[in-house]
Structure 1
Amino acid sequence: MGDLSEKNVQDYSKMANHILNTSTLSNWTLVPQRNAGSVLLTSLHALASSVASNTQPLPNVTVQEEFLSLQSQHISGDRDFTFYFNSSSQPVSGQILIEKAKARGLTDLSAVSLAYPTLGDILPTESENVSVNGLVMSLAVSANISQIFLKFEKVNKSLSINTHCAAWDKGKETWSQDSCQKQEDSATHALCKCKYSPNYLSFSILMSPKANSDPALHYITLIGLGISICSLVLCLMIEALVWRHVTRHSTAYMRHVSIANIAVSLLLADIWFIIGDATFKAKSSNVCITSTFFTHFFYLSLFFWMLLMGLLILYRLFLVYHDMSRTLMLATLFSVGYGCPFVISILTLAITLNQPGKPYTREDGCWLNWDPSKALLAFIVPAFIILAVNAAVTCTVISVLLRPSIGQTPRTNERGYLVQIGRCVAILTPLLGLTWGIGIATIIEDSSVVFDYLFTILNALQGFLILLLGTLMDPQVRRALKTKMSSLPWHTSETKNTSSNPKCHSQSPHGNKTSDEDLS
């Protein structure tokens, strides 16, 4: 822009202030160029750069408009310097800290900073569910600075979690989280450390309107995981205790192999989830990556073993007279149950770590990243495909239950059918992972918070449901436990209860009865 006078800066700032007025922001939707906001930001930063590098240094200039603030300072001496901004259009503030140590030994520099309370509304984001939640602040300096610190006051203070520090990528014309790290985060403010380079000159914080700051969900999760872990340990102990008695024929054997591995996978996934939560608070990145990998792997193993459980039910229903050797069946089960999750997990880790700017973990926890790497798809896609298959399995079981047995008049006992269906659905739902289907409702924008609570409670207690419905409600397990208990020396003689509980029977296409002991 050549040499500038203070009046030129004032006039240019007033024009930009008019453009950024909240009353004119709606007109930006009529602008055909999607990058119009980026063009304006680049133009204003060029003004600041011209002031900072002007051949005839201006005296310290301060412009305080309603929708734009500009501060020009000549900094001398070996000291840090901070720009302070207070917006008059919105009750938010911001600070930019320049560390003299990062100015590569220079004792004098000119710095010009700008702050915009409304510019973030017209700069595009990668997702409609993400918005700028603070001032957009820019910096132009006459020296080479490697990094700066920025403090943002949040506009919407109800979004107190999932804060992302971001820099505007001038080349890609989008927000990038790669060059910034969150240092502190509270309900009202966020502190960011950002790299300063020719491509990253403007900064702000991004937040999601979908973020739920209710701490009750966090406590429900931790309490539920504690109950789930204890239940899964008890489930595995019972399975080991009665294993010889309940696995005498191949169908029951494969069923209990599946239940045991479902319990093992969920137990280890829950443990690594807790390790990840503790690791994130300790801010250990390497351990966070490790815990994310194993959490991802074991949750995927859980889903693949639930898929195998569903396929075993179909196998038992429609291939009654076909028997596969135990060796071949076990090899198939373990290859799918642990092999497929391992391949998916290791590929996700390798791809994201080898792509600069595509982080593996989230900024707000030890779990798979969504923006910008989309690593979370490596969990969402296989999980929901498996849920769809198992939902179809459940519908198939219900349709088989509704078929009358040979020689039986259809619908002779309507209530009995409903009891059988309800009992089998209750057993199959946690074993096939159908409670995870509620997660679809939680990711829908503006969905009720009821779905968040329901999803959190059911899945945090999934281990307890597996113990209750998958193990303790199995008549064979109860009989084996009773036999074990009666063999104890201190056990007194009791009258054996010979009455049997109602069975969930289904008729195979071949006319054979199949009990819930075999199906679920």
Structure 2
Amino acid sequence: MEYWKELLLLGLLCTLGECFPECDLGYRSEGRDCFDVDECMEPLCGNNTLCFNTNGSFYCQCLPGYKENNGYGDFALGGHCQDINECTDGENICSHSANCSNRIGSYECTCQFGYSAAASSQGHCQDIDECKEADDKKEDLCGVKGTCQNTNGSYWCMCSKGFTNYGNQRTTCSELHCDSFSGDGRPTPSLGGLADILFMMRKSCLALSDPSTAGEGIADGDVLLKKLFKGTEAILSPGPVASSEDVSRLLGVVEDAIMLIGPRLKDGRTKTVTNETDAEIAVQRGTTPPIGPIHLTNANATLDTDWTTAAGMGAYQGFALAALLSYKNLESSVNRSFEKLTGHEKDGVNPSFQISSRVVSVVVSNPSTQNLSRHVNITLRHLQDNEESAQLSYICAYWNENGAWSTDGCYQLCSNATHTVCTCKHLSSFAVLMALYDMEHTFGLQVVTKIGLAVSLVCLVLCILTFKFCRSIHGTRTTIHLHLCICLFVADLIFLAGISQTKPVGGCRFVAAMLHYFFLGVFTWMLLEGVQLYRMVVLVFNASIRPLYLFLTGYGAPLLIVVISAIIRPEGYGTDKYCWLSQDGLIWSFYGPVCFIIILNVIFFIVTVWRLAEKFTSLNPDLSKLHKIRAFTVTAIAQMCILGLMWVFGAFLFQEGTTVEAYIFTILNSLQGALVFLMHCLLSKQVRDEYAHFLSCVCTTQKKRYSDFSTTNPSSSQSQGSRSGQHTGESQI
């Protein structure tokens, strides 16, 4: 701009008559001389350019890495330069083993993984021999049973037979344990579908462990996982697993299968949901052990741990795995085996246990899961929402290798009505157990039971003596009542002495079997009473039943039921709380026959009452006989109601009984003998007459003994004898 100012000033001077020599464009005058103007002193060129001065002018040139952008107009008068993208404009500027990155005015070549920059040529990379470097550093790149083979930009680990890298060629060779899927020595007759899973997993394992197969027969991980859970569903859907050994076998096979399948899954996170299982599996792969938290969740449980715990502190296998598997219906199969749970007494009371959550398995690739470096937190949702109280508490437990629940190494972190958080030092299959303590009025129940059963036993003894020695009432019906009372007496005696004696297990099972037999005997003799009443009304002649048939039915039918039940499920006799039948199906070997007998008796009683009504309205009814049968029917119906009602409350008590139900059951059970004595003895006129005759004889004998010690005065003796004879005669009348 100074140049143009000088020209204007020169023109003004010339106008005033003081004109200097006129200079060309690009020059300036000083006095009468012209000198070149350095235009580069002013920013006449655009960005990313260099300015060059010439005589009388100048020119602009782009910096290296830039090119002229003609879109900005006259380049010489302020034009701009734009960056050159050497990665696209140039040809093979970097080698095929390098990645080109454009920079402003330049570019950069970065070697790909497995290559390093060549010292002799910029932009070119050469292969790294990872196998040689590992040997130089004394590193075991492929494991003890792996052979390293270098390739362009990478390397392969060739595994020996019995080892695999799960198809990941840069992964350490890990040992396979295909024998765990053989099933040798561990028969599982009740788990028919498990054989298919074992065959599938063993075949896949052997294909992985044999390098000569070259990948033949190796199924996709996602396909194998789908088949695994389909097979598991086929095993669990029919119903509960029969034994604890079968449960342990199933859990172990599924966990081993997940360990084999997990490294071959395509995605880092895999979720699978079926009717019987809900699983989430997370896998991390790489040359270095992963770090960071792990959070796996489903509708029934949540797992919180970290990758360091999942991978373990031993040799890194090239991958790390963590899986959370929830079984939706397995709790009914493991709602037993609480023998190892000790140390949970409260106020001297041992609790009973039941499963309160889904069974959950946690699987990690860490080979040392029995003593983890950090605790693992597992949050389990309760099957039912129950607030903690004095009568219950929640306990974290795991299924141990012996097929039983244990709490070693696991404890409850916190709990509420819906969830319990368990923290464990080892991994296995877990569940929340609800510890149920006896009701608050345990002492009161024991007192009522002992007093009531003592009264009941005394009354039953009186009933047995009455039915045995009262000749005036002998008959088929009396025989039935006699043996009904004998069965009830023995059952109450065993109940009083052994219902709570759960140790030893063998003794408890014997007590449960005896209670099963004699209580069934009570109901069987009650059924025979209904049959006899029916025959008395329907049949005119020969209404009695032969004693042999009575004994075969009354004692043989219960024995047959008990023997079959003991053969099918012997472990169902005896529970942790009572010496009675377990609630996992065996209880119906008692309730089933009882319900059947009650239904039959109801039918017999309806027919009996109906036929009685017809006979009462007939022209010449035998009223004395009909009144007697009617009285028999009323007492039989009352007896059935008392016994049946007792076991209705018993069914609730042995499951989840309240205090009120426990007292009702105890009172009814305790007073059965007294009620039988009242109905069949005290309310019977014949029996009362026999009692009166017996008492009169006893009283007469006592008076005679008293008279033996009186004075020997003859007159006095005669008068006393006369009075005694008069008294005896009155008694006989």
Match of 1:311 in 2: 531
Which residue is 2:561 aligned to? 344
Question: Residue 300 of structure 1: CA displacement?
Answer: 0.8
Which residue does 1:98 correspond to in 2?
A: none
Asked whether 1:138 is paired with 2:362, we answer: yes
Which residue, 496, 500, 505 being the options, matches 1:278? 500
> Residue 461 of structure 1 aligns with which residue?
671
Partner residue in 2 for 1:80 = none
Deviates more, 1:383-392 or 1:360-369: 360-369
Q: Residues 488 and 522 of structure 2 are in contact (CA less than 8 Å); yes or no, is this contact kept in structure 1? A: yes
Distance of 1:132 and 1:204 partners within structure 2: 7
1:471–1:477 CA contact under 8 A, matched in 2: yes
Contact 1:115 1:136 in 2 (8 A): yes
Partner of residue 490, structure 1 = 702
Whole-Å separation in 1 of the counterparts to 2:644 and 2:601:
11
| Partner residue, 2:404 | 180
- Map 1:157-172; keep pairs closer than 5 Å: 157=387, 160=391
Structure 2: how far apart are the matches of 1:345 and 1:108? 55
Residue identity opposite 1:432 in structure 2: M
The one-letter code sitting in structure 1 at the alignment partner of 2:702 is W
Equivalence for 2:129 = none
- One-letter amino acid of the counterpart of residue 679, structure 2: L
How many correspondences in the alignment?
Answer: 400
1:431 to 623, 639, 642: 639
CA distance in 1, matches of 2:479, 2:401: 44
Q: Deviations over 1:349-378 (max 9, x none)?
A: 11113xxxx74444443221232xx11121
Tell me: CA distance 1:347–1:109, structure 2 relative to 1, closer, same or farther (3 Å).
farther
C-alpha root-mean-square deviation of aligned residues, in Å?
5.9
Q: Which residue number in structure 2 is paired with residue 478 of structure 1?
A: 688
Asked if 1:366 is matched to 2:590, the reply is no
- Counterparts of 1:120-519 in structure 2, within 5 Å, are 132-133=356-357, 136=360, 138=362, 140=364, 142-143=367-368, 156-157=386-387, 160=391, 179-181=403-405, 201-205=428-432, 220=445, 223-224=448-449, 226-240=451-465, 243-244=468-469, 246-248=470-472, 252-280=474-502, 283-322=503-542, 329-353=546-570, 359-371=572-584, 374-403=585-614, 404=616, 406-407=618-619, 427-432=635-640, 435-436=643-644, 457-488=667-698, 489-490=701-702
5 Å-filtered alignment, 1:41-52, equals 41=279, 43-44=280-281, 47=282
2:457, 2:489 within 8 Å by CA — same for their partners in 1?
Answer: yes
Q: Is the 8 A contact 1:167 1:203 kept in 2?
A: yes
Per the alignment, in what secondary structure is the counterpart of residue 138 of structure 1? strand
Contact preservation (8 Å) 1:438, 1:455: yes
How many angstroms apart in 2 are the aligned matches of 1:323 and 1:65? 71
Report the equivalent of 1:9.
none
- Change in 2 beyond 3 A, CA 1:346/1:242: closer
* Alignment partners' CA distance in 2, 1:351 and 1:422: 43
Amino acid at match of 1:490: Q
- Percent sequence identity over aligned pairs: 19
* TM-score (normalised: structure 2): 0.43
Instruction: Describe the SS at the equivalent of 1:375.
Output: coil
Shift of 1:292: 1.0
Q: 1:216 to 1:337 in 2, by over 3 A?
A: farther
Q: Which amino acid aligns with 2:565?
A: T
The AA in structure 2 aligned to 1:389 is L
* Alpha-carbon distance change, 136 to 476 in structure 1, aligned in 2, over 3 angstroms: same
2:243 corresponding residue in structure 1: none
Distance 1:108 1:226, change over 3 A: farther
CA distance in 2, matches of 1:420, 1:241: 19
Instruction: Decide whether the 8 Å contact of 2:293 with 2:305 is kept in 1.
Output: yes
**Cα distance change on mapping 1:305 and 1:496 into 2, 3 Å:** same
CA contact (8 A) 2:460 2:485 kept: yes
Following superposition, the deviation at residue 384 of structure 1 comes to 0.7
Conserved? CA contact 2:452–2:667, under 8 Å: no
Q: Deviations over 1:228-263 (max 9, x none)?
A: 44323333235425733x3346xx332222222112
CA contact (8 A) 1:166 1:178 kept: no
CA contact 1:166–1:180 (8 Å) conserved in 2: no
Report the equivalent of 2:275: 34
Retained in 2: the 8 A contact 1:74–1:109?
Answer: no
TM-superposed CA distance for 1:317, in Å, is: 2.1
> Given the superposition, is the C-alpha separation of residues 65 and 381 from structure 1 closer, same or farther in structure 2, using an over 3 Å criterion?
closer
CA distance in 2 between counterparts of 1:430 and 1:229 reads: 22
Structure 2 residue matching 1:68: 3-state secondary structure: strand
Cα deviation, residue 307, structure 1: 0.9
Q: 1:421 to 1:478 in 2, by over 3 A?
A: closer
Structure 2: how far apart are the matches of 1:233 and 1:387?
A: 27
Instruction: Check the 8 A contact 2:491/2:515 in 1, yes or no.
Output: yes
Q: Cα offset for 1:459? A: 4.0
Q: Which moved more, 1:330-339 or 1:262-271?
A: 262-271
Distance 2:286 2:486 in 1: 68
- 2:362 maps to amino acid: S
Tell me by how many angstroms 1:454 deviates: 5.1
How much has 1:490 moved relative to structure 2? 2.8
* Matches of 1:55 and 1:470, distance apart in 2: 87
| Whole-angstrom distance in 2 between the partners of 1:497 and 1:115 | 88
What secondary structure is seen at the aligned counterpart in 2 of 1:278? coil
Cα distance in 1 for partners of 2:594, 2:665 equals 15
- Asked whether the 8 Å contact 1:166–1:205 carries over to 2, the reply is yes
- The SS at the match of 2:431 is strand
TM-score (normalised: structure 1): 0.57
Corresponding position of 1:506: none
Residue in structure 2 matched with residue 502 of structure 1 by the alignment: none
Given the superposition, is the C-alpha separation of residues 317 and 401 from structure 1 closer, same or farther in structure 2, using an over 3 Å criterion? closer
Q: 1:144 to 1:350 in 2, by over 3 A?
A: farther
Query: 1:164–1:207: 8 Å Cα contact kept in structure 2?
Result: yes
Which deviates further from its counterpart, 252-261 or 271-280? 271-280
Q: 1:320 to 1:275 in 2, by over 3 A?
A: same
Give the match for residue 87 of structure 1: none
1:273 Cα deviation after fit:
2.8
Between the aligned partners of 1:477 and 1:54, the Cα distance in structure 2 is 93
Higher relative contact order (CA closer than 8 Å, sequence separation 6+): 1
Contact 2:467 2:481 in 1 (8 A): no
Distance 1:165 1:337 in 2: 47
Kept in 2: contact 1:68–1:114 (CA 8 A): no
Q: Secondary structure at the match of 1:432?
A: helix
User: Could you say if the C-alpha distance between residues 301 and 65 of structure 1 is closer, same or farther in structure 2, counting changes exceeding 3 Å?
Assistant: closer
Counterpart-to-counterpart distance in 1, 2:393 and 2:592? 23
Question: 1:430/1:485 Cα in 2 relative to 1: closer, same or farther (>3 Å)?
Answer: same
Structure 1: give runs of 5+ residues left out of the alignment.
5-13, 20-27, 76-82, 84-106, 169-175, 410-416, 499-520
Q: Which amino acid aligns with 2:583?
A: W
In structure 2, distance between residues paired with 1:237 and 1:468: 11
